[in-house]
Structures are given as C-alpha cells and as structure tokens.
Amino acid sequence: MSGVVLVDGGGTNIGSVRHALQRLGVDAPLVTEAARIRAASHVILPGVGAAGPAMRRLRELDLVDTLRGLTQPVLGVCLGMQLLFRASSESELPCLGLIDAMVEKLTPAAGLRIPHMGWNALQRVRDHALLAGIESGEQAYFVHSYAASAGAWTLAACDHGQRFSAIVQKDNFHGMQFHPERSAGVGSRLLKNFLAL
C-alpha cells in the first residue's frame, strides 16, 4: 500500500487539511483516481459545502462504489463525515450510506447561532484508539449547520441546542464533524491517532 491520500471531492478545506498533515510530516496527495485511493494506507475525505454538490462530484468521478468498498482506515472531515451517512436533509441525493442514519439541520434555539461556529467541548461516549489522549471537555472548532444525531456510531458528542455526533466510527470508517486542522493540539492529536490506526 502507498501512504495517505486526500480525496479531491472539491471541498474548500482540502488545502488546510493537507497543511495540517504536512505539519505532522505527512505529504498526502490530492487524488481522484479509484486505483490510487484503493492502494492508499489511509484515506481522508475532506469537505466543506453542501451534501448534494459533494455527492454529485463523487458520482461524476465514479468514486461512490470505490469509497464504499474501502477496507483501510477512512476519515471524513466536516461535510466528509456527513457523507458517510445514509442521507442528508440538505439534499435529495443519497449519501454513501455507510452509517444507517440521517444528517439533519440543526434546530434553532433562543441565543444559539446557526450555523454552529466556534469552539465547543467534546464529550467522550465510548473508548476507541482514535480518542487516545483526548479527554471529555477538550475543545474542537466547528463550522456547520447540519449534524448527525448521537447513536451507536458516536465516539464523541457535542451540544449546541441539541446533542449531536462530533466523532463517529463504524468499522474502518471514521468521521469528525469539526475541523481537526483548525482545532489546535486536539485536532493534531486526533489526526495523529487516525494515522496510527
């Protein structure tokens, strides 16, 4: 297997994720070729934007079945995490369907801003190697309007008017709703943990 790759699905945070990996000594190329993705040791699916255009891009690149069939560690970041789920209320297009749950728009509440932007505390739900060295209450940086509820797939949750999944895992697929590349030491540790899987 080759090293870490970033799936070039058109997300605007690809450059910042790549720089965060470079700070860890990892030069992850941007790829769109199925063979290179299948050959990688670790696959990262970044994303910022909307679920519909992101899934259309993955379909245009003929990568949906490739991503669904991966057996190495995979990490979805922000929108990339949401794409791991069955569908998003943001779009009529189905997502990758690797986690059988919906992504829904955050519910507005008095005094709470949507989109959810800024630092918020992670609440550990269950143990996993991805969370090594990360304690409940440590902060990560979020920018999102849609989220997945907490469920059997949740490693860490967060509250912003409602409880939602901040870090998820099912089999070899992992996701972070926040931006690890903008989450200082916590984000760096989480990326290191992912690369060690």
Catalytic residues: 78, 179, 181
Q: How far apart are CA 135 and CA 89, in angstroms?
A: 31
26 within 8 A of 20, measured Cβ to Cβ: no
Element (H, E) at 28: none
Q: Inter-axis angle of helices 14-23 and 184-196, to 10 degrees?
A: 80
Q: How far apart are CA 192 and CA 197, in angstroms?
A: 9
CA distances to 69, 136, 159, 163 from 98, in Å: 10, 26, 24, 21
98 within 8 A of 84, measured Cβ to Cβ: yes
